[in-house]
Amino acid sequence: MAKRHPGLSERHRKIMEFLTKFQETHGYSPSIRQIGDSINVKSTSLVDYYLNQLLEMGYIERENRISRSIRVVQPVKAESELPGKVAEALRIAGNALSDLVRIPIAGRIVASAPLPMPTSDLNYYDAESSVDIARSLLPTRDVSDLFALEVSGDSMIDAMVNDGDIVVMKKAASANNGEMVAVWLDDKDETTLKYFYKEATRIRLQPANPNMKPIYVEDPKSLRIMGKVVLVIRQIKSVAG
């Protein structure tokens, strides 16, 4: 095959597509070996060989001895990708911006102390920390009296809530049956998360863990509802690559 100015071979094209796509999704360039994998070539030298050709032809640029330094000069794309992708991107964009809610983290929730409540109503913006939540995860459209707490310690374990979890709550002083609430128990001097059930003569506080027994409160006054739990989020750390 006489090789002059003419077009790219199948391999060249594949490499260019891979480079473009990889950059797009990862934000940096692939290594030689990764490129090799993408075109089923095990030899790094062969990839180098093609890369030099592409370089010569002006499709890419790279620096000597610098990892992942390939730049795509002339993007080669499968045309079918673009229109749909842009459209999709725009669709998401439209939804996304309005569908994200920033919820202030009011503090930490521990068993031994009452709930920290958000200082004022609307200090969302200067709150030291906050969580962003997709609105679709929230049960209510009204976001104004939501706040979040970070769980400290293992004391909420019977609510299936662990140290480090974030609970999103809605301010409330009363609750309906079946809702999960944060309550302060005067008798025990502690804050706890339980499912709330008002029964005929008493109130039943049911742990989320079905293996555990409920607490019964005879006197409604010895129990103070602080809020309703709306969402629990647990981020598992140390997951990177």
Partner DNA sequence: CTTGACATAGGACGTATGTTCGTGTATGAT
Partner DNA sequence: ATCATACACGAACATACGTCCTATGTCAAG
How far are the Cα atoms of 14, 28, 34, 138, 139 from residue 58, in angstroms, in the given order?
16, 20, 21, 51, 54
Taking CB under 7 A as the criterion, the residue among 24, 26, 33, 74 binding DNA is: 33
Least CB distance to DNA at residue 21 (A): 17
Catalytic residue among 31, 77, 80, 155: 155
- Strand pairing category for 203-206 and 215-217: antiparallel
- N- to C-terminal Cα separation, the chain: 42
Q: How many CA atoms lie within 13 A of 119 on its CB side?
A: 10
Identify residue 28 by its one-letter amino acid code: Y
Does position 7 bind its own copies by CB under 8 A?
no
Site map (CB under 8 A) of its own copies, residues 155-194, x = contact: --x--xxx-x-x---x-----x-xxx--------------
Interface residues for its own copies in 216-235 (CB under 8 A)?
228-235
Taking CB under 8 A as the criterion, the residue among 43, 49, 89, 216 binding its own copies is: 89
User: 182 and 229 in contact (C-beta within 8 Å)?
Assistant: yes
Interface residues for DNA in 68-127 (CB under 7 A)?
68-69
Q: How far apart are CA 155 and CA 144, in angstroms?
A: 28
Does position 32 bind DNA by CB under 7 A?
yes
Contact of residue 93 among DNA, its own copies, none (CB under 5-8 Å per partner type) = its own copies
Q: Which is nearer to its own copies, 14 or 222 (CB)?
A: 14
198 is catalytic: no
Q: How far apart are CA 234 and CA 156, in angstroms?
A: 13
69 is catalytic: no
Contact of residue 88 among DNA, its own copies, none (CB under 5-8 Å per partner type) = its own copies
Q: How far apart are CA 121 and CA 102, in angstroms?
A: 14
Q: Which is nearer to its own copies, 121 or 218 (CB)?
A: 121
Q: How far apart are CA 101 and CA 80, in angstroms?
A: 34
Q: Which is nearer to DNA, 20 or 222 (CB)?
A: 20
Between helix 10-26 and helix 44-56 the angle, nearest 10°, is 90
Taking CB under 7 A as the criterion, the residue among 20, 31, 38, 152 binding DNA is: 31
Q: Enumerate the active-site residues.
A: 155, 194
Give the residues lining the site for DNA (CB under 7 A).
1, 3, 9, 11, 31-34, 41-46, 48-49, 53, 62, 64-69
